[in-house]
Amino acid sequence: MLGRITRLIPTRAALWAALVAAGAISLAWLRRDAARDAHNRSELEDLRHADDIEDRVARNRTDPGRLRKYEDSGWRD
């Protein structure tokens, strides 16, 4: 099989250049995939934090025995 490939490519240097180019492309693809994974992880973490905040606010609003700090104070100037 390597013999067939070497007949299509005129020199060994061109073969090595093609192999190096294929390696560079695969490394670039892996790096891009890793960056995409990091971005997705940070978005999921942000969504989890937002859900936690939303849950805390909902719990505080539904607690009937809870008084706000200045709830009985009346209007202030």
Q: What is the pLDDT of residue 13?
A: 80
- Which residues of the chain fall below pLDDT 50? 77
Secondary structure class of 64 (helix, strand, coil): coil
pLDDT of the residue at 41: 92
Residue 71, SS3? coil
- Say if CB 58 and CB 50 are below 8 A apart: no
